[in-house]
Structure 1
Amino acid sequence: MFERFTLAAREAVIGAQKEARELRDERIGTEHILLSLAAGDDATGRALREHGLTAGDLRARIARAGRPGGDALDPDALRAIGIDLDAVREATEQSFGEGALDVPAAKPGRPRTGHLPFTPKAKKSLELSLRHALRLKQKQIGSGHVLLGVLHDDGFLSVRLATEAGADVEELRAHIRRLLTARAA
């Protein structure tokens, strides 16, 4: 499948591995791919920034999520059992200072060397990028297709982070589809 990836799409995947390593994560998740795309200099990266998704903010959100390549604490799930995560964070910060619950960007230990594996959701998002390209009748997978893949499933951490950052994910998806079809015309 990677033979169909454009240079920008390949750079996004390589960048995701770099971002996961820098965050001391053990696996590459959809959040790392989104972060790498947001750091990009191409039309996809610019579109992400236009929708309020910057690499710096996403990196901080991923660090706060606290679980390497996995799922963050789900405020809605905690609320369902009577725990208000925002109230806990606020009370903790009043007692111990701002960011007291934040996970440090550099987790203890040395960064892992060698290849980092993809989480199952990240693998699925890359498969979905191929499906998006095929649906748009395009032979190559560009960074826009990769973004559509990581934004495809509302269960992906990348979608949750984008939403929490204030992005209208459906509008972002539509924006990227317009960019992809305009380039193909």
Structure 2
Amino acid sequence: MFERFTEGARDVVTEAIGHACRTGADTVTEEHLLLALFERRGTRVSFAFAALGLADRRASVEDALREARRRGGLSKAETEALAGLGIDVAEIVARVEAAHGEGALRVAVKPGRTRRPRRRPFAPGAKAALARSLRIALGRGDRAIGDAHLLLALTARPGVVSEVLADHGATYTAVERAMFGAADTGEGTAAASG
């Protein structure tokens, strides 16, 4: 599949690996892919971020992602579902942090590691986003996977990243419209949902 990636999309993947390394993460996640997309300049993605006001609200996006990590990676939808069962995630987070310190529910880097592996594996969600980007590209009739397809894939997959993007006005439809004009009503949308 990576042979279909444009140079820009490969740069995004490389930058995502760099984000994972700088933060000490053991795997490359969807969040790292999104943060790498924020680094793009002069592309459809950077244009979409500017058009949707995300370029000026990157700090807000990062804060929302950090808050989700603080909740152990639970999305707002998952938190609300648990609340429906009588489980108050905010209370649990507060109690755990009172006992073990702030950020205790975040996935931790294994202590005592002095050497980092040369390659970081991709988390299942990140792998699924990369696979979804291929389906979106094929659905749009594109021969290569670009950074625009990666962003659409992140908006199409359920989870924290798509939720944070949607909360900031970057839904699949809004992003597609910002990058390509009128929303695709055919294959691209069908590929995103499949």
Q: TM-score, normalised by structure 1?
A: 0.72
* Contact residue 48 and residue 179 of structure 2 kept, 8 A: yes
1:82 aligns with 2:86: yes
Question: CA 1:140/1:179 → structure 2, altered by over 3 Å: closer, same or farther?
Answer: farther
Structure 1 residue 179: Cα displacement:
8.8
* Contact residue 125 and residue 149 of structure 1 kept, 8 A: yes
Find the aligned partners of 2:162 and 2:179 in 1 and give their Cα distance.
15
CA deviation map 1:19-44 (0-9, x unaligned): 22223222111121112112211220
Q: Give the number of equivalent residue pairs.
A: 169
CA deviation map 1:26-79 (0-9, x unaligned): 211112111211221122023124323344333333333227xx8335431332
* Contact residue 12 and residue 36 of structure 2 kept, 8 A: yes
* Contact residue 23 and residue 107 of structure 1 kept, 8 A: no
Find the aligned partners of 2:52 and 2:104 in 1 and give their Cα distance.
25
Question: CA 1:80/1:126 → structure 2, altered by over 3 Å: closer, same or farther?
Answer: same
* Contact residue 29 and residue 122 of structure 1 kept, 8 A: yes
Q: Aligned AA for 1:58?
A: V
Please list every run of 5 or more consecutive structure 1 residues that lacks an aligned counterpart in the other structure: none
CA-based RMSD of the aligned residues comes to 3.4
* Contact residue 6 and residue 145 of structure 2 kept, 8 A: yes
Q: Aligned AA for 2:163?
A: R
- 1:71 match: 73
Find the aligned partners of 1:172 and 1:125 in 2 and give their Cα distance.
16
1:50 aligns with 2:54: no
Output aligned runs, 1:3-18, within 5 Å: 3-18=3-18
* Contact residue 177 and residue 183 of structure 2 kept, 8 A: no
- 1:30 match: 30
1:150 aligns with 2:154: yes
* Contact residue 36 and residue 55 of structure 1 kept, 8 A: no
Q: Aligned AA for 2:146?
A: G
Find the aligned partners of 2:36 and 2:151 in 1 and give their Cα distance.
10
